[in-house]
A and B are shown apart, each in its own frame.
Chain A
Amino acid sequence: MSQFVESTAVRSAPRWGYGATVRARRVASLAGQMLRNPATAIGMGIIFLMLLLAALAPLLVPENPTGTYQMPRDLVAANMPPGTPGHPLGTNVLGGDMLYGIVWGSRLSLLLSFVVVGIAIVMGLLVGSVAGMSGGKVDSVLMRIADVFLSVPELIFPLTIAALLGPSFTNIILALCVVIWPRYARIARSRIIQVRQEGYVRAARSIGDSRFNIVRRDILPNSMTPIAVQATLDMGRVVLLGATLSFLGLSQAGLAEWGRLVSIGQSGITAGWWWSSTFPGLMIFLWTLSFSLVGDGLRDVLDPRTEGR
């Protein structure tokens, strides 16, 4: 890692002008390198299609007037197989159109991953930088708190928190935020401790930069690499965790959410209604898979020593 730190440990350049061009060029070159790996390219392709699905949702399937993320209920056409006119992917036991669930569910997954990962990064950076910059008691207390979250399997806290808050999608998001941040705090803190002794940070301190400025201008830009990799992987994983909670009954009934839809389909498998669990579950799988492929690809490109592992 240290080898890499040196290569990017550049004091951030002025906001616009030369620095921005360099950065844009670097991003373009990274993207080019990533696309050369077929697995990463497949992942990026799936993500692109998912984003397209979410963006074009209203054009693909008309919005349900009773509620955008409510499954429309076609009461005369429950358990219709795929290929039924008007229901290309069939309907579930409640008469919900599977295509509607798939298409509009992608927006919920997108929302979930952006909000959870976004909040987790902000919280993690905040806690991690305070801990790393303060050191001593503050550091140990904050990191012991983070350790409590990391010391048990990751489903346990969200499960109890979502149960306590009551079944709703918002509560799933909140519950996931509580458990995802400690990893970012750890990353930020370890980076700060590494970078704190570097010459350019000491130089900044010697010319009287405030701690806040040092963190913002020198330390955070240099912590971005591992955070970007972790965030990409988490974009997929939180959807998997959220769908698991939703599957266990912790989202609202009738929500067009993939985990919920798999759970509804459960009851019909002996009757041969395979489609109503299969399609939404496949979407969760593809979503998580694509972000983990891209996350791995990103790591290979940013830290070449792990390539081929």
Chain B
Amino acid sequence: MRQYIIRRLIALPFVMLAVTMLVFVLVRVGGSPIGIYLEPGMTKAEVAALNERFHLDDPLPMQYIYWLRGVLQGDLGWSGAASAPVMEVYPEKWAATIELALAAGVVAVGLGIWLGTFAARRRNKPPDQFARVFSVAGASLPNFWFGLMMLIVFWAWLKWFPNGRYDIALWESIPHPTGLYTVDSLLAGNLTTFLDAIWHLALPSIVLGYVAAAMIVRMMRSSLVDELGRDYVDAARAKGLPERIVIRRHARRNALVPTVTVIGLAVGALLEGAVVVETIFQWPGLGRWMAQAVLAGDDATILGYVLFLSVSFLLVNLMVDLACARLDPRISLQGSD
């Protein structure tokens, strides 16, 4: 077990290197990022000095090494889209995205496991058919369109939910030590701002969570159906356990093993979905920043985002492997790679 973790942790930086190297080459082949540093009326010598300063005349591998050195020193470069160093804007945007992704994750996992269990218990009955439609639709639904439809109905038309991340007056009424609006409200003991945070989170987290929930429902249902057909379930029923206990204590625990793997993949859907969902809901997080950076050709931000995303995704999937080993003692992580 420990060996496995160590091996994965050693492999992690290499995957990171490969991913960032590929993206780095891609963004640099597209052209020099000198444009964002130029000002009108600069002389040739000044431009040359800039090129010299940011090593833009060096060969590509050298440029990558300079970028990497910057990352290790906590310097991700200058963001043209935010007009500030990436590292300065990063924590605030990161907090906004993490808050949204966590809320969406709660929606996805809660709804996914509940609906999956519900459907598996009533196999081929209306609840099961509903779960099937729910998951098939979720896999095909364009999240940008779904988000807009929710905004049209619940924001523009019914006016039940707001758009954006906060009510500016309420946001400014409390200190923000963590940057997570809900947590900050609780720390400040302010119920009004807490409700404001939840109210703003509701729509985007449902939209972002839906795709992930659809994946989880599908896996939860099919693995629970498999488990319910096993002998140990018959044995549990035969000794007179109520169905509720049979499912909760016996079958569901085993059915969770493949589901947890899918949850790991769903985290990827949450992180990349943030690009679109944050754009639609005016959410000031990393995703919207990335969408702006892509259009503005802002290399530093793109690279910073890719780094964040791949690190989170790989770490989450490592945790998923560990969770599976925990849930099912038969899984040995020794031999597998």
Contact = CB atoms under 8 A, between A and B. Distances in A.
Interface in B37-75: none
B294 A289 contact: no
B302 interface: yes
Closest 3 CB pairs of A and B: A281-B145, A164-B30, A288-B140
- With most chain B CB atoms within 10 A of its CB, the pick from A164, A265, A284 is A164
Given A248-B279, A281-B149, A153 B294 contact: no
A266 B148 contact: yes
B150 to A, nearest CB: 10
The main secondary structure of chain B at its interface with chain A is helix
Contacts of B140: 236, 240, 285, 288-289, 292
Nearest to B302: A160
A152 interface: yes
Contacts of A144: 18
A243 B136 contact: no
Contacts of A282: 145
Contacts of A220: none
Interface size class of B (residues with CB under 8 A): 35 or more
30 contacts: A147-B15, A148-B19, A152-B306, A153-B309, A153-B313, A156-B23, A157-B22, A163-B294, A163-B297, A163-B302, A164-B30, A165-B30, A248-B279, A259-B144, A262-B145, A262-B148, A266-B148, A266-B280, A274-B156, A277-B152, A281-B144, A281-B145, A281-B148, A282-B145, A285-B142, A285-B145, A289-B140, A292-B140, A296-B136, A309-B225
A160 B23 contact: yes
A292 to B, nearest CB: 5
Given A152-B309, A163-B302, 10 more contacts: A151-B15, A156-B310, A157-B26, A160-B27, A163-B30, A164-B30, A247-B144, A248-B291, A274-B156, A288-B142
Nearest to B317: A151
Interface of A: 39, 144, 147-148, 151-157, 159-165, 167, 236, 240, 243-244, 247-250, 259, 262-263, 265-266, 269-270, 272, 274, 277-278, 281-282, 284-285, 288-289, 292-293, 296, 309
Contact of A248 (B137, B149, B294): B294
Interface stretch (B98-106, B186-194, B266-274, B321-329): B266-274
A281 B136 contact: no
B131 interface: no
Contact of B276 (A39, A147, A247): A247
